[in-house]
Amino acid sequence: MPRYAMAIDLSLCVGCAACAVACKMENEVPPGVFNLWIREREVGVYPDLLVEFRPEQCLHCENPPCVPVCPTGASYQTQEGLVLVDPKKCIACGACIAACPYDARYLHPAGYVSKCTFCAHRLEKGRVPACVETCPTGCRAFGDLDDPESPVSQALKAADRVDVLRPEQGTRPKLFYLNAPSKRGLTRESEVRHD
Amino acid sequence: MQRREFLKLSALSAGALALKGSGPAKALGTPWHAKEVRSVYQICEGCFWRCGIVAHAVGNRVYKVEGYEANPKSRGRLCPRGQGMPQTTYDPDRLKRPLIRVEGTERGEGKYRVATWEEALDHVAKKMLEIREKYGPEAIAFFGHGTGDTWFVDFLPAAWGSPNAAKPSVAICTAPREVASQWVFGRPIGGHEPIDWENARYIVLIGHHIGEDTHNTQLQDFALALKRGAKVVVVDPRFSTAASKAHLWLPIKPGTDTALLLAWIHVLIYENLYDKDYVEKYTTGFEELKAHVKDFTPEWAEKHTEIPAATIRQVAREMAAHKPQAVLPPSRHTVWYGDDTYRMMALYYVNVLLGNYGRPGGFYIAQSPYLEKYPTPPLPLEPAAGGCSGPSGGDHEPEGYKPRADKGKFFAKTTAIQELIEPMITGKPYPIRGLIAYGINLFHSIPNVPRTKEALKGLDLYVAIDVLPQEHVMWADVILPEATYLERYDDLVAVAHKTPFLELRTPAHEPLFDTKPGWWIARELGLRLGLEAFFPWKDIEEYLNTRLQSIGFDLETLKGMGTLVQKGKPWLEDWEKEGRLPFGTASGKIELYCEKFKEAGHQPLPVFTPPEEPPAGHYRLLYGRSPVHTFARTQNNWVLMEMDPENEVWIHREEARKLGLKDGDYVILVNQDGAREGPVRVKATERIRKDCVYLVHGFGHKAPLMRIAHGRGASDTYLQTRYKLDPISGGAGLRVNFVRLEKAERPRLPALTGLAKRPFDERRI
């Protein structure tokens, strides 16, 4: 049984949002809600600057806080490690939306909670998620974390630096960020200058 | 930040909704990919890079497009615009049927009545024939942009006999780089910049916005170069996306790039760092160039560019250390300051001194694929809108035909679209009384919009062929609604490339509403204009099949492949094996000194002219691209607009503070001539110099019928009331405008989400 994971190389990502648009089309995501979005942060003072482009989406945590809070079992984890929502069981109570530390979930206008599925329907056909396939920079790697030859394992091995979002939450994300532009790792809102 | 707030809100409202009780009703539809999907080979029209794609349709709707491996442009990947572009076909604001302006109304009032195609085309043909009768065929100008424009700026005007056919992609974009390339190398750069990124070890980008410009293949190659450890230097007044990937950012003073390039040439030559064998074997004019740059030291350049001399030297030495795998790729939009041909010459000279033209890691030699034209009687004129002549510099008109109306205003044969506006007003050198505009956005590309509007008002005929009710479209006498790319065939696209190739666009479904493909519109017009001899084919499939049969191929086979790749000769050694060189210059070599320029009263070698300084209280207006938008074409597409719903004016944080402005405030931009644009959101940032501001191009739509685009952001084109003509290429230098910022109220606009949810229904227009 594969254990699906994704890695995004931030030294290559230009924040073009090809992934976000491909996701929108592939998954018919309605206006106003997003499975996947880009966070852009500028850190530093002219001319010593860095800009981090960081795509964000459901991290398909190994220890997902959104699953145990679901009263109906609509939120669940598959054997391949995908965290999914069964719309038929979902009563849209919003507990999982509140529990997710990454704001990855939203209420779909059709009346259930939705989010990134790692394009489970494509995985069934042996295809990678739409965001991975389309990325012009090739900054996304996907595959089986238990297979050392998989693109994601290879990318993790080759990376100079690997980060996950909010590791202190203990969620054990399976979305990894590689080669963050800052030596301090992923940028934080507190590093951004405001007037 | 905006998005995060937004997501929180949607999460809150989710909770609120659920608390109301019984749980919302669920409408679980079958996803598109679980239905019966029909897939066809297509060519993306998200920009003009023209990636080969596969379109997946269910019934009369394309849900998804994807790149495919065999296509050398997409290689199975696609940029955001390509991914989101299908939405434009299903835009409720689309033009749906032919329209004729209500008699007695003025152009610009926007009052129309629905017409049949028969009536609309008859009307256009009758007017065109009247104009020809009175003034001659040259009195109709043909402007176009997009894959379908071949019918309207190449074929139709050449058959009709008007030399006044033009595209904005020449004089408002690539003219200087193409002209300089023709004179230096005797070859074009062409639509797909022939840079061997993947093998480059040292890349210097000057005003090149890769990353914000998401030309798919180029972005793939750039990322590959980064991955392979190439060093990147970015020269830009703004810390661009490319700069964020660079090892070194040189925040140059705007308008001084030529000084920097001349200093690099100086260092490469006077420190003996250039590729001597290459220069000796492949070039002429080296001694003249050497003498010319003698005084252009890094210390001289520092005074103009504000880049330290030591840095200039260091970069030149590093380039040399990596030669020939060091390259300075030409950017696409090169009309900046009116002396742009010189800048591009200097850029090519640096490349030549690094010995990279025709060598891996530098420029490859792109060749066009083999393809024959459809056999027709000879056209009276040569299609010339694509604009770039060979190095002859003089064009001759056949007996009985007039030269282009812009002739004599500049040196090269490139077509300067902006120079065809004045004759519409003054009648000099001769009257232009009619305009057929296909796909071009007249008010978001040609500088000096008030002049364009004045010209349109005075015409005897103005026809727009388009997909959306853009502002300039709603000025036309007759509006011919075209089927979108997903709904039509176009002519074969022949791409000059490392591996030249042909690609095919096939319709994914029938045209929606009463719209028609460009080829059909051109042919129907041709038949009404007495040009039937030039349209011997009955339909497009017959036309395409005949062309393909001429190279031993056929349409049915290509329909199953999408792309036909041919063999190229990308490297100098491929040519040398055949005992020749690829340079189409007079000498047959790369020319580092241009005698013809001198004869015509220009400089034979690149010279630097310091730019005009901004007036007090003003900033130089720079502009560029958003990765999710193409020019002014995509701002009514909700999928793309969600990713980037408005442009922002970038200003240095300290300058903003001085003006009492905060990040997120709104301002009106006022240019040196009093033109006002906005309100536009302020981006107070460290990412730009203090002497300039920056806008993404394509926003600030004024077309009321484009409900999503309308009123969001500011238009740089409307602020470009002046331009500086490049006297060699005819390019319109646009970075010569200055603006000041006036605080304004945040505009009240309908929510994007609501507009996006409008049903795809029939409306009056």
Q: What CA–CA distance (Å, rounded) separates B616 from B593?
A: 39
Q: How distant, in Å, are the alpha carbons of B190, B678, B706 from that of B745?
A: 44, 10, 22
Mean pLDDT value of segment B437-457: 98
Is residue B226 within 8 Å of residue B243, measured between CB atoms? no
What does the pLDDT look like over B670-722, one tens digit per residue?
Answer: 999 999 999 999 999 999 999 999 999 999 999 999 999 999 999 999 999 99
Strand partners, B464: B437, B479
Distance of CA B171 to the CA centre of its chain: 10
Q: What is the DSSP letter of B155?
A: I
Burial B619-638 (b: 16+ CB within 10 A, else e): bbbbbbbbbbbbbbbbbbbb
Which B-chain residues 273-292 have CB contacts (< 8 A) with chain A?
Answer: none
Which B-chain residues 627-656 have CB contacts (< 8 A) with chain A?
Answer: 627-628, 638-640, 642-644, 652-653, 656
Compare CB distances from B663 to A87, A106, A195 and report the shortest one's residue: A195
Residue A194, pLDDT above cutoff 80: no
Cβ distance of B80 and A17 shorter than 8 Å: yes
Hey, of B634, B642, B658, which one would you mutate to test binding to chain A, going by the most A CBs within 10 A of its CB?
B642
Strand partners, B651: B684
Under the banding of pLDDT at 50, 70 and 90, the label for residue B399 is confident
Q: What CA–CA distance (Å, rounded) separates A115 from A108?
A: 9
Is residue B605 within 8 Å of residue B593, measured between CB atoms? yes
Picking from A7, A191, A34, the residue whose alpha carbon sits closest to that of residue A109 is A34
- Contact residues on chain A for B28, CB-CB shorter than 8 A: 87-88, 110, 112
What does the pLDDT look like over B267-310, one tens digit per residue?
Answer: 999 999 999 999 999 999 999 999 999 999 999 999 999 999 99
| Amino acid in the structure at residue B741 | L
Strand partners, B683: B650
A71 touches chain B (CB under 8 A): no
Which B-chain residues 209-228 have CB contacts (< 8 A) with chain A?
Answer: 211-212, 214, 216, 219-220, 222-224, 226-227
Tokens encoding B343: 């800048």
Tokens encoding B759: 């049903």
Is residue B263 within 8 Å of residue B570, measured between CB atoms? no
Looking at every residue in chain B, the average pLDDT score rounds to 94
Which B-chain residues 669-708 have CB contacts (< 8 A) with chain A?
Answer: 684-687
Q: How distant, in Å, are the alpha carbons of A89, A103, B20, B410, B426 from that of B24?
A: 12, 21, 9, 67, 66
Distance of CA B318 to the CA centre of its chain: 32
Least confident interval from B325-339, B398-412, B441-455, B514-528: B398-412
Phi, psi of B648 (to 5 degrees): -125, 150
Mean pLDDT value of segment B108-113: 96
Under the banding of pLDDT at 50, 70 and 90, the label for residue B26 is low
- Contact residues on chain B for A31, CB-CB shorter than 8 A: 638, 642, 752-753, 756-757
Which B-chain residues 67-106 have CB contacts (< 8 A) with chain A?
Answer: 67, 76-84, 86
Q: What CA–CA distance (Å, rounded) separates A32 from B642?
A: 8
pLDDT (0 to 100) of residue B5: 39
Residues in chain A: 195
Tokens encoding B746: 């945040």
Tokens encoding A43: 């850190």
Cβ distance of A134 and B78 shorter than 8 Å: yes
Mean pLDDT value of segment B749-756: 96
- Contact residues on chain A for B13, CB-CB shorter than 8 A: 107
Pairing outcome for strands B326-327 and B202-206 = parallel
Is residue B493 within 8 Å of residue B502, measured between CB atoms? yes
What does the pLDDT look like over B140-150, one tens digit per residue?
Answer: 999 999 999 99
Mean pLDDT value of segment A166-188: 97
Cis before residue B324, ω within 30 degrees of 0? yes
pLDDT (0 to 100) of residue B29: 87
- Contact residues on chain B for A15, CB-CB shorter than 8 A: 211, 241, 627
Mean pLDDT value of segment B537-565: 97
Q: What is the DSSP letter of B473?
A: G
Q: What CA–CA distance (Å, rounded) separates B53 from B611?
A: 43
Residues in chain B: 765
Picking from B624, B106, B746, the residue whose alpha carbon sits closest to that of residue B331 is B624
Selected residue with higher pLDDT from B288 and B394: B288
Burial A139-159 (b: 16+ CB within 10 A, else e): bbbbbbbeeeebbbbebbeeb
A97 touches chain B (CB under 8 A): yes
Q: What CA–CA distance (Å, rounded) separates B64 from A26?
A: 6
Tokens encoding B687: 């990412």
Mean pLDDT value of segment B552-581: 97
What does the pLDDT look like over A67-126, one tens digit per residue?
Answer: 999 999 999 999 999 999 999 999 999 999 999 999 999 999 999 999 999 999 999 999
| Amino acid in the structure at residue B51 | C
Mean pLDDT value of segment B170-195: 94
pLDDT (0 to 100) of residue B13: 43
Picking from B730, B120, B137, B705, the residue whose alpha carbon sits closest to that of residue B387 is B730
| Amino acid in the structure at residue B546 | T
Return the H-helix or E-strand segment holding A18.
Answer: helix A18-26
Q: How distant, in Å, are the alpha carbons of B298, B299, B688 from that of B308?
A: 8, 8, 18
What does the pLDDT look like over A149-175, one tens digit per residue?
Answer: 999 999 999 999 999 999 999 999 999
Q: What CA–CA distance (Å, rounded) separates B449 from B454?
A: 9
Residue B24, pLDDT above cutoff 60: no
Which residue blocks in B190-297 are alpha helix, DSSP H?
Answer: 216-227, 241-245, 257-270, 276-282, 286-292
Q: What CA–CA distance (Å, rounded) separates A46 from A49?
A: 6
Q: How distant, in Å, are the alpha carbons of B83, B242, B550, B696 from that of B214?
A: 12, 11, 35, 14
Q: Is B295 exposed, middle or buried (0-12, 13-18, 19+ CB in 10 A)?
A: exposed
Is residue B144 within 8 Å of residue B162, measured between CB atoms? no
Mean pLDDT value of segment B50-59: 97
- Contact residues on chain B for A121, CB-CB shorter than 8 A: 31, 33-34
Looking at every residue in chain A, the average pLDDT score rounds to 97
Picking from B465, B370, B402, the residue whose alpha carbon sits closest to that of residue B135 is B402
Q: How distant, in Å, are the alpha carbons of B97, B107, B476, B704, B721 from that of B120?
A: 10, 17, 12, 23, 34
DSSP A79-91: TTS-EEE-TTT--
Compare CB distances from A91 to B23, B251, B757 and report the shortest one's residue: B23
Angle among Cα A47, A53, A58 to the nearest 5 degrees reads: 155
A3 touches chain B (CB under 8 A): no
